[in-house]
Amino acid sequence: MDIKKTVHNNLSEVIGHRRFLHRIPELAFSEEKTADYVADCLGKLSLEVRTGIAGHGVVGFLDTGRPGANLLIRADMDALPIAEKTDLPFASTHKGVMHACGHDAHMAMVLGAAKILCDLSDGLSGTIRFIFQPAEEGPGGALPMIEAGVMDDPKVDYSVGCHVWPDIPEGTVGVRDGVLMAAMDQFDLTIIGRGGHGAMPHQCVDALEIGCQVVGALQRIASRQMNPLTPTVVTVGSFHAGTVFNVIPDTARMNGTTRTFDREIWDSWPRRLEKIISGICSAMNARYEFTFEKGFPPVINDAFMSDIVRRCARTTVGEKQVIEPDPSMGGEDMAYYLERSKGCFFCLGTGREDGPSIHNARFDFNEDVLATGVEIYCRIALDLLG
């Protein structure tokens, strides 16, 4: 059985999936047409299809009827609120929405792997579930899918997923043991002062100016409190205060995100942030409302599973093309599957010189990468269940 040839024979169909899905991008938790298409494709295969999980989640369940390993292969379905600027003949037909994070590719590869593995199922033992989850871009569809039982019955032993990755060169595959991506959170802060005339600051409590102090001070958590050898990020991504030049505003609103690979630091964020916020507000006679929403856990790959993925990637693209990528401060809700099974999230290189990053209105990639992803998925399944 020549897997490479089989994948090659299926490539035009996989590219077809990608292009169809690219035309109909849908935002988190509204992936209705996407889910219909995915369920339709899976319905043509010899597996059980479950739909409507945690919103529009879809699972294709392949049961070989023989005892063996239980593998989960994961794709994400949602797109971003970005107006596409690619000029591709299959560009988005949904105004202001675009598959700018490659989730169209992720779905196409899992659909391709599902078809080939169904054809090969006579030689496999155990189960494979092909997971299509909503809302990776936030607030996260993985956890609601897991809470709906997609990792149970039988319990998943191994999980795998991948992301197209412009940070490493086209044609390479990035596999990394241990931590790959950061824990990510969101915080919201409103500072409440007392407004008044711009010429009379002594009669006011200037929420805007206090907000500026807070933004500056929050930056000192990463630069002055953390060990420089332990990466952390505190970003204030929005700040709104005031309406006109001669009025001191009574409120300032901001929100932002924190990132770390370290679970202890992750737990400490709300305390660290609030200590600074309350200290400044108290000194300046302002009140505040602060909420901290814990996000996805860090993405941590299992050494055993990473080893299998690395081996399968080497067979697929050659020894030299498999590299160890730097970890990223980005977050991914693949983390939840990895917390509950031996799992590995790997990177498919799509980087080229001056190529756009993901989340960019011009993001695109060489579709050859789809064959690489499908082949690696098939090899992993054959390795664990063959």
- Residues near Zn ion, by CB under 5 A: 101
Our CB check for Zn ion shows the closer of 117 and 334 to be: 334
Our CB check for Zn ion shows the closer of 171 and 330 to be: 330
Closest C-alpha to 263, from 158, 179, 162, 328: 179
Please give the Cα distance from 129 to 277 (Å, whole number).
46
Name the minimum Å distance from CB 186 to Zn ion. Answer: 15
Our CB check for Zn ion shows the closer of 25 and 193 to be: 25
Task: Choose, from 26, 31, 136, 185, the residue flagged as catalytic.
Answer: 136
Specify whether the CB–CB gap between 115 and 45 falls below 8 A.
yes
Beta bridge partners of 311: none
Closest C-alpha to 171, from 5, 350, 8: 350
Name the minimum Å distance from CB 166 to Zn ion. Answer: 11
Our CB check for Zn ion shows the closer of 15 and 101 to be: 101
Task: Choose, from 26, 31, 78, 206, the residue flagged as catalytic.
Answer: 78
Burial profile 43-72: b = 16 or more Cβ within 10 angstroms, e = fewer: eebebebbeebbbbbbbbbbebeeebbbbb
Our CB check for Zn ion shows the closer of 205 and 348 to be: 348
Closest C-alpha to 173, from 356, 351, 19: 351
**Largest CA-CA distance found in the chain, in angstroms, rounded:** 82
Taking the CB of residue 318, how many other CB atoms lie within 10 A of it?
A: 12
Tokens of 384: 């664990």
Please give the Cα distance from 73 to 251 (Å, whole number).
47
- Amino acid (one-letter) located at 97: V
Our CB check for Zn ion shows the closer of 47 and 101 to be: 101
Name the minimum Å distance from CB 146 to Zn ion. Answer: 18
- Amino acid (one-letter) located at 55: G
Name the minimum Å distance from CB 284 to Zn ion. Answer: 37
Cis peptide leading into residue 154 (ω within 30°): yes
Name the minimum Å distance from CB 20 to Zn ion. Answer: 19
Q: Coil, strand or helix: which one is 220?
A: helix
- Verify whether residue 152 is a known catalytic residue: no
Specify whether the CB–CB gap between 128 and 94 falls below 8 A.
no
- Verify whether residue 136 is a known catalytic residue: yes
Please give the Cα distance from 132 to 59 (Å, whole number).
6
Our CB check for Zn ion shows the closer of 101 and 107 to be: 101
Going by their DSSP bridges, the two strands 232-241 and 322-323 should be labelled as unpaired
Our CB check for Zn ion shows the closer of 101 and 376 to be: 101
- How far CA 59 is from CA of 16, 47, 75, in Å, comes to 20, 10, 10
- The answer to whether the Cα torsion of 55, 267, 235, 85 is positive or negative is negative
Q: How many residues does the chain have?
A: 386
Name the minimum Å distance from CB 135 to Zn ion. Answer: 11
Going by their DSSP bridges, the two strands 57-63 and 126-133 should be labelled as antiparallel
Name the minimum Å distance from CB 251 to Zn ion. Answer: 31
Name the minimum Å distance from CB 101 to Zn ion. Answer: 3
Catalytically annotated residues: 78, 136
